Structure 1
Amino acid sequence: MKKLLFFSFVILFMASCGSTQSNTEAKPSKKTLKGTWKVTNIRFVGEKGLYKANLFDMADSACFKESEWVFIPNNGSGKYTLPGGSQCEAVSTRIHWSFYEPGDGTYQFQFKYVDEKNKPIDAANRGYRSTIDSLEENTMTMRIETTYEGNEFDVVLTYTKVSEDFSL
C-alpha cells in the first residue's frame, strides 16, 4: 500500500512539473528564438468590423504575411524582410531586440530599428513592443495592440521557425 501511495505521489508530482506551461508564466528564452522565422498567419481579434493596421510604422499588416525574421540571441541583433507584392513594397530592415517584463505576468518582445552598427535609427530612440502569447521551439504567437478609426483590436502574428541558421 505504501508503494502504491508513493508511486501515485511521484506520478502526480511529475505531471505537475510538465512542460505545458504558457510563456505568460515562464520567462521566454532568447535561445528558443534563435534562428530564422516566418510569419505564417495574421489574424485580428476584436469586435466585428473592418480592420486596418500599419505595423511597426512600416507597412500594412497584410504585407507582413510570409515575412522572414532573423533573431541572433547573443547580441540581440536581427532583421526582418517583407516579401513585397502587388500592394506591398519589399523591405529589409535591421533591428535590435530583447524581452521586456511589464510586471503583470506577461512578457513582451521589443525592438528598435538600427543601422549596420546596431545604432538606433530613430533620433528619439523609440521602439515597438508586442505581447508574447506563446513561444515554443518551432512556433511563436505575438499580439500587437492597435486601433483603427477609434476601434481597439489586436493583430496576432503566428511565426514558424524555418531554421536555426541566421545571417544578417
Structure 2
Amino acid sequence: MKKILFLTAMALVLFSCKSTSATDTKLDKGAQVAMKGNWVISSVTYPGSEYIKVNSFEIADSQCFVGSTWKFVSNNNKGNMALTKYDCPVFSSPITWFVNKNGEFVLKVLDADIKAKKVREGYVLHVANQTENAFQLIDKGNVEGKTISVVYQFQRAN
C-alpha cells in the first residue's frame, strides 16, 4: 500500500507542469488546420494506470478528461476546453495553443481575465497518429526512473 501511495505522489508531482520556454515557435500550419473544430477525448491511457494517478494539466485526475470537450480555432490559436464527466470537478476554460514544426502541441490554459501573453506556464505534448477524425497528444513523464507516456486520444465531435 505504501508503494502505491508513493507512486501516486510521484506521479502527481512529475506530471504537474511543464514549461513552454524551450519550444520552437515555427508553426506546423497543416497540423493546426487539421485540428480545427470540435473534439472529445475518448480515452486516456498509460502504463501502470491501475496503480498511479496522473493529475492532468494541474486540473484533475487524467480519467476525468475522458469525455471532455475541446474546441480548436486554427486561425488565431485559441479555443476552449471543458470537463464533462460525472463525479469529476466542473471545469471550463479558454485555451491558447499551437503545433510547432517539431510536432509539439503547446497549450496554455487561461483564466478568463488574464491574457495569454501574461501566462508563463504551459504544457508541451507530442502530436501523433493525426488523421481527419482523430489524433493523439502524448505527455512524457518519469515514474521511479522509468519514462512513461500518457496518451490522450481525441475523436472529432459531430
- TM normalised by structure 2 equals 0.72
Q: Secondary structure at the match of 1:29?
A: helix
- Give distance in 2, aligned partners of 1:41 and 1:148: 21
- Give distance in 2, aligned partners of 1:81 and 1:48: 23
Instruction: State whether residues 96 and 118 of structure 1, in contact with CA within 8 Å, keep that contact through their aligned partners in structure 2.
Output: no
Q: Secondary structure at the match of 1:92?
A: strand
Q: Quote the sequence identity (%).
A: 27
Q: Which residue identity is paired with 1:79?
A: N
Give the structure 1 partner of residue 81 of structure 2: 80
Instruction: State whether residues 53 and 61 of structure 2, in contact with CA within 8 Å, keep that contact through their aligned partners in structure 1.
Output: yes
Q: Which residue identity is paired with 1:109?
A: F
2:155 aligned residue (141, 160, 164): 160
**Tell me, which stretches of 5 or more residues in structure 1 are unaligned?**
1-25, 164-168
Give the structure 1 partner of residue 115 of structure 2: 119
C-alpha RMSD of the superposition: 2.6
Give the structure 2 partner of residue 92 of structure 1: 92
Offset, 1:150? 5.5
**1:71-114 alpha-carbon deviations (Å, 9 max, x no partner):** 0011000111001422x111101111001234xxxx01111122
- TM normalised by structure 1 equals 0.68
- Give distance in 1, aligned partners of 2:117 and 2:29: 29
When residues 71 and 27 of structure 1 are mapped into structure 2, their CA distance, relative to the original with a 3 A threshold, is closer
* 1:5-44 to 2 correspondences below 5 Å: 28-44=30-46
Q: Secondary structure at the match of 1:137?
A: coil
- Give distance in 2, aligned partners of 1:118 and 1:30: 24
Instruction: State whether residues 115 and 121 of structure 1, in contact with CA within 8 Å, keep that contact through their aligned partners in structure 2.
Output: no
Offset, 1:129? 0.9
Q: Which residue identity is paired with 1:39?
A: I
Structure 1 runs of 4+ with >3 Å offset:
115-118, 147-152
When residues 28 and 108 of structure 1 are mapped into structure 2, their CA distance, relative to the original with a 3 A threshold, is farther
Q: Which has the larger radius of gyration?
A: 1
Give the structure 2 partner of residue 8 of structure 1: none
Number of residue pairs matched by the alignment = 131
